[in-house]
Each structure stands twice: as C-alpha cells, then as structure tokens.
Structure 1
Amino acid sequence: MGTVLDSHFLALTAIVTVVYQFIFFVITALFKFDQVTDFAGSTNFVILAVLTLVVKGTWHFRQIVLTLLVVVWGLRLGIFLLMRILQWGEDRRFDEQRGNIVRLIIFWTLQAVWVWTVSLPLTIVNASDGGGSLRPADVIGWTMWVFGFLIEAAADQQKLSFKNSPENRGKWCDVGVWKWSRHPNYFGEMLLWWGIFVAASPVLEGAEYLVILGPLFLTLLLLFVSGIPLLEASADKKHGNSGAYRFYKKTTSPLILLPRGVYGNLPGWCKTIFLFEFPFYSRSLPQEKASGDSKNSKENELKDD
C-alpha cells in the first residue's frame, strides 16, 4: 500500500468529517439545538467506515468485519444518545456554550478531530488491499471489541434505567457493571477501539503504525480531559458529603472492572499506577466536616446526576 493512497484516504476522511461536523455546528449555532451533538459524532464514524470501504472496493473479509464493527458501534451509540437527550430535553454540557460562539467552535473542532483521529486504524485498513489471510491479531482484536461493546452497551442501559426510576433520584448509579467500575461505559469504549487497532495491525507497515494515535487519543481524552475528570468533579460536588458515596468511591475502580473486595484493599500506589486512580479525580471532594456530619447527610436531598 503506497503512501499516496494513504494520503488520499486521509484527506478524503478529513474533508468529509469537517463538512459533516460543520453542518451540525451551524444547526446548533443558529437554532440553539444541541441535542444532535452526540448523534453527529457517532454517525460520523459510520459514514467514514462505509465511505472508505466502498471507495476502495476491495471487499476483503478483514475490511468488511472491521467496517461492520464500527457501524454497529456507531449506530447503537448514536441512536441511544439521541433518544436519551430527547427524553431529557437538553444537554447540560452546553449551558455555558449556547450563547458563546467561540466555545461552540472549539467544541465542534475537537469533535471533528476526535472522529477523524479515532477512525484512523479502520481508514488505513480500508485503504489497503486487505492485508492477506487472517491472523491471530484479528481474532484477538474482534474479541476485545465484543467485550468492550457489551460492557459499554450494558453500562449505558443500566444507568438509563437507574436514572429513570423516581426512587433513585439524588443517588449515584451503583447497579450492574457500575458496581465494578465508576465509569464502565468509558472502559468498554476504550477496549473496543483498542480492539479495532489490534485487528488492524496485520495490515500496518512502517509509519502506518502511527494510527495508534487513534485509540491513544481517545484514551487520553477520556482519562484526562472531557471524560472521567469532569464526571468525577460533578459527582464529588453533588455527593461528596455523603459517607456512603465516599465509601463507594474508595472501593470502586475508576475504570477497569474489578470486584470491590479486591479494589478496595489495594494500596494507593497500586491504584494510581496500574488502575488509573489519579489524585486529581478527588480534588473536588468537599473537605471532611465535623464528626458525624457526613453520616447525617441524606442522599435524597442531593441533586440528581
């Protein structure tokens, strides 16, 4: 596979991504209608996957499988997020952005970069001749995707059901896979995209291994920027005075699914180095009050997540 062909596909996907995101940016800016933001991001992956497969037209089994995996993920997530936000009525992430055009531009630019970068492994696979016969890396990658997809889908549905129950108002979600991770949906998403990269590796040569930037960018984004840090800060401010919440946070892994009995007994250095329990995830926790105050705080008096 030549670098010229790679460049053509990279340029094509970049142009399509920018145009697609710009259309939804205009809708958001003109009509203050931000319910389509997540749908725009998820479906952009689907468009790039199908487009690159059709344009190349080699229809190798590896290309078809990886394209289908991305399409299934994108459609499932896009439809789920759209239905959820239409049910809730508004996206609170944009409360401070609706009237600020600069912030909106930054958000939509980052979303375009996210889509294009994370799609890189599949883009290169579909730009190739298919990479020959299947290898163990294909099966390993597909297996990672299946587990990641199931975890993410289960986490999304379990939290939605939890939040839709009136008796859970003012509580944090700790049912299903949320008992084993504070952010299982993010863990599933990271796992499936690393699986895409692993399954793409038999095709990669030389500089093409730089497509590892796709899953790496996603991982860094969720760990340090717009994913876990924001949600941890929000949950700490709402529930930080609750002793039960502090116990939940202390005994529940931030990302990788682990039994509480295992995670809760691990030393702090182990949690930080191997399990992503970074100190800044807890910097928004309120200071400990006088003895007994946290015990007397009532969860049902706190705002909903």
Structure 2
Amino acid sequence: MTAFPWGAFGVSLVYSAIAPLTITLLTFLVALAKGVHRIVDVAWGLGFTAIALVTFAASDGHGDGTRRLLATVLTAVWALRLAVHIGVRRCGHGEDARYERLLARAPGNRHLYALRVLYLPQAALIWLVSLPVQAAQYATGPLGPAAAAGAALWLLGLTFEAVGDSQLARFRADPRNRGRIMDQGLWRWTRHPNYFGDACVWWGLFLLSCVTWPSALVSLISPLVMTYVLTQGRGKAVLERHMADRPAYAAYAARTSGFLPRRPPRTPLLNRRTG
C-alpha cells in the first residue's frame, strides 16, 4: 500500500472548496430573483454532489479506482435524492418560517445578511462534512471489510431517510391528518428517521474512507460534526422546539425514541388533533 498522497489531496481540498461555494453563490442569485431564501436548502445536496464529482476528476491517477467510483456514486445518490425531495416539498410555497424569523433580525440589507449567515456558512459546512468523500478518492488499497460495512450502513441510512420522508409526505398530503402528529411507520421507531438516516450515511462514508490512519483521521470530523448538527444544531433540536407547543407532541415524545430507533410500545399512540 502506497503512502497517502498529501500533496495531491491538499490541492484537491482547494478545488472541493470552490465547488460548493460556486453552487451556493449561484443559488443565492436565484434566491434574489425569486425573493425567497428557502432554496438554500436545495443547494445542500447539490453542493455535496459537486464535491464528489470534482474530487473524482481531480483524483484521477490516485487512489483505488473502485473506491473512488463507489464514494462518488454513494454521495451523489444520497445528495441528489435529498435535493429533489426538498425542492419538490418547497415548490410553490413562500419563505420558510425559520428564515423569516432569522431575516427579521437583519441589521441592514436582508439579502446580504442571508448571504453571510445562511449561504456562506452552509458552503463551509458542506466542505467540512464531505471530507470522507474527498479522502476516499485518494485512499489506496483494495476495498475490505470496513468498506463493506460502510456501504451497508450507507444503505441503511438512505433507506431510513427516504422511507421516512416518503411516509411523512403521504401523511401531510391527507387532509384528514391536518393538526395531527405523525406517529406511523418509521416515525413510531424514532421521532427523526430522516436525521438518523443522514447520520448513518455519513458514518458509512467515513468507514469507506478508512484505509490508512491519515485518511481515517482526516475523515472522522465529518460524521462527528454531522451527528452534532442533526441532534443539537439545525436538525432535531430546532424542529422539536417548533413542535413543543403542540399538545399531542409531548405524549409522542415520551413514548418514542428521540434519535436511535427503538421498538415502539405495543399500545398505539392516540393521535389527537392539535388545532
């Protein structure tokens, strides 16, 4: 096994920083034209796809070819599914309530404030979280047990996220469920199957990059940061504060795991109306 190519990897880090920044700035221009900043969420998935493609091209001649292709495909499949899902869900709606509250605190120009506190930090976070994908492109050595475990964990995560999103979309589309708490399907096992799935995807990609100690150490920050963001940052914590004023949510939270899936109780939750 040859040494990790730090020089080539360092150059690739620059390319991979430019990719999500370009996607983010283009998204910002579209948001200005449309007058809403909710589409910044679509750029999240597109940014990861751009990094996967750019680093795959930049790493030509380095790393294991199968691992490079696998890392690129797994990242792009996850990221594009998420971008399409968010785009379809937000299509035709006004500004996201979260961003309305945020922009209401803008000390000056709302759009420049959004660029500074939404778009640019998101581009930086995409670059940081994508480190396993970038490292996997340069990791030498054939695929082994860690890569197989990573691919399996990625598949588990994608399944949880995609199925959870689909179940929630069908639930919300039924007018009879207006004001009710989603407590069916995977949502009986965890209050956040989509966030749990996200975490599994990135721990899986981390395992895919774990060939040498350098690549493992470079990649480890990614799943740690992503798990923190999902559980304590913009994910679970923010959503649960928003849901806390719904009477039925307290009962749902008391009997359903907050993150890791757990066998649901035998007695179904009485799904009461919340307004």
TM-score (norm 1): 0.79
> What's the offset of the Cα at 1:190?
0.2
In structure 2, the partner of 1:114 is 125
> What's the offset of the Cα at 1:137?
0.3
Letter paired with 1:76: R
8 Å CA contact 1:97, 1:104 repeated in 2: no
Alignment of 1:129-208 (within 5 A): 130-202=139-211, 204-206=212-214
Structure 2 distance, partners of 1:170, 1:188, is 26
Structure 1 distance, partners of 2:230, 2:127, is 16
In structure 1, the partner of 2:97 is 92
> What's the offset of the Cα at 1:117?
0.9
1:251 to 223, 244, 255: 255
Task: Find the residue that maps to 1:260 and give its secondary structure.
Answer: coil
> What's the offset of the Cα at 1:102?
2.0
Change over 3 Å in CA distance of 1:55–1:104 after alignment to 2: closer
Structure 1 distance, partners of 2:187, 2:171, is 11
Change over 3 Å in CA distance of 1:207–1:84 after alignment to 2: closer
8 Å CA contact 1:114, 1:218 repeated in 2: no
Alignment of 1:17-36 (within 5 A): 17-29=20-32, 31-36=34-39
8 Å CA contact 2:148, 2:208 repeated in 1: yes
In structure 1, the partner of 2:86 is 81
In structure 2, the partner of 1:269 is none
In structure 2, the partner of 1:227 is 235
Letter paired with 2:213: E
Query: What is the aligned-residue identity percentage?
Result: 28
Residue 62 (structure 1) aligned with residue 73 (structure 2): no
User: What's the CA shift string for 1:49-68, capped at 9, x where partnerless?
Assistant: 11111222247111111111
Structure 1 distance, partners of 2:258, 2:118, is 25
In structure 1, the partner of 2:15 is 12
Task: Find the residue that maps to 2:261 and give its secondary structure.
Answer: coil
8 Å CA contact 2:209, 2:219 repeated in 1: no
8 Å CA contact 2:136, 2:208 repeated in 1: no
8 Å CA contact 1:148, 1:191 repeated in 2: yes
Greater Cα offset, 91-100 or 46-55? 91-100
In structure 2, the partner of 1:45 is 48
> What's the offset of the Cα at 1:89?
4.4
Structure 1 distance, partners of 2:41, 2:193, is 18
Residue 212 (structure 1) aligned with residue 215 (structure 2): no
Letter paired with 1:140: A
8 Å CA contact 1:35, 1:82 repeated in 2: no
User: What's the CA shift string for 1:249-295, capped at 9, x where partnerless?
Assistant: 11100011111339xxxxxxxxxxxxxxxxxxxxxxxxxxxxxxxx9
Residue 300 (structure 1) aligned with residue 270 (structure 2): no
8 Å CA contact 1:190, 1:215 repeated in 2: yes
Q: Is there any run of 5+ residues in structure 2 with no aligned partner, and where?
A: 105-109
User: What's the CA shift string for 1:36-85, capped at 9, x where partnerless?
Assistant: 21221101111111111122224711111111111110111111110110
Structure 2 distance, partners of 1:30, 1:207, is 41
> What's the offset of the Cα at 1:163?
0.8
> What's the offset of the Cα at 1:30?
5.2
- Count of aligned residue pairs for this structure pair: 261
Structure 2 distance, partners of 1:197, 1:171, is 37
Structure 1 distance, partners of 2:188, 2:115, is 35
8 Å CA contact 1:98, 1:104 repeated in 2: no
